[in-house]
Amino acid sequence: MTTVRREAFGRMPAEQGGGEVEKFVLQSDSVKVEILSLGCIIAALETKDRNGKFSDVVLGFDTLEGYTKKHPFFGAVVGRVANRIAKGRFTLDGKEYQLFLNNGPNSLHGGAKGFDKVLWNPQVLPDGVRFFRLSPDGEEGYPGDLKVWVTYTLSGRQLAINYQAQTSKTTPISLTNHAYFNLAGQGSPDVYDHEISIEADSYLPVDDTKIPTGEVAAVQGTRFDLRQPVELGKHLQKFHMDGFDHNFCLQEAQSPRLVARVHHPPTGRTMEVHTTQPGIQFYTGNNLDGSLKGKGGITYPKHSAFCLETQNWPDSVNKPHFPNVLLHPGEEYNSTTWLMFNTA
């Protein structure tokens, strides 16, 4: 049985358009999740350890103020296009589009004011909440009026996130949630004692601006082979890695499949990711540097969280051999990711 509660969370600053931000609390007997109408942000997610003790396992802020200042997309839905587009440029039907460059020479996660920084219209469901917004033609340089729905539903130990969209003009679209997880509990100093596996036979090598080179490389015999669980800290040490920030290529499938699993032996918490998407970005919080004060006044140092962002492949709009990222008028974009929390 899931209960859903809505409450006021704060008001946007006038220079950011004002408007009331609401918080929606979804609760089952084993998971409690708090979601904001700003950016569809997962602001908290509490789950049990093996002794039945609840801890909040996502990074974020206690108050709205934290989310209205610059932060690394904590818990937010990002779009229109998650991840990077090279030089913020693409051509459709002979017309070139230029996006805002907010990540060195590239456009990242929708641009200067992407889906993470806007208010969405909420609708309470019996077991969750659905958010809607219209992204107008030309917003952040993208073509077409895009209607978008993001639906969170909680059932027992499983949080489902469904993304739907319709457009008036052909546009690239790839939506994901950018939650930062630490299964020891947010505020724990690192995720080195987490064991991770990703069901991917290949990954995308990137250039020095994190844009895929176009090669689809086999993980076999490389540091990217995570098909069997590895302990993160030891793995990074063994391969002298600064961390992961890479897209892993998943088997294309219409039906959901298990694509990643993270286990935290000290608490027994596990998280499984199931999705219909063709890719998953594994990111180990390499750019966290302790400068942000999060919940409870705790700072978040490097490697204090991981992200598993289900997505289309980065820069697909410029790489015809990558999975199709274009949505045409009359079609529907529809993608679902399931997060399953257990103890082992």
Say if residue 180 carries a ligand binding annotation: yes
Residue type, 298: I
93 annotated ligand-binding residue: no
**List 178, 194, 235, 264, catalytic entry:** 178
Is residue 253 a known part of a binding site?
Answer: no
245 is in an annotated binding site: yes
Q: Does residue 178 have an active-site annotation?
A: yes
Whether 190 has a binding-site annotation, put simply, is no
Catalytic residue (choose from 34, 140, 272, 309): 309
Q: Which of 120, 138, 116 has its CA nearest to residue 129?
A: 120
Has 178 been labeled as part of a binding site?
Answer: yes
Active site residue 309: yes
Q: State the binding site for beta-D-galactose.
A: 83-84, 178-180, 245
Q: State the binding site.
A: 83-84, 178-180, 245
Catalytic residue IDs: 178, 309
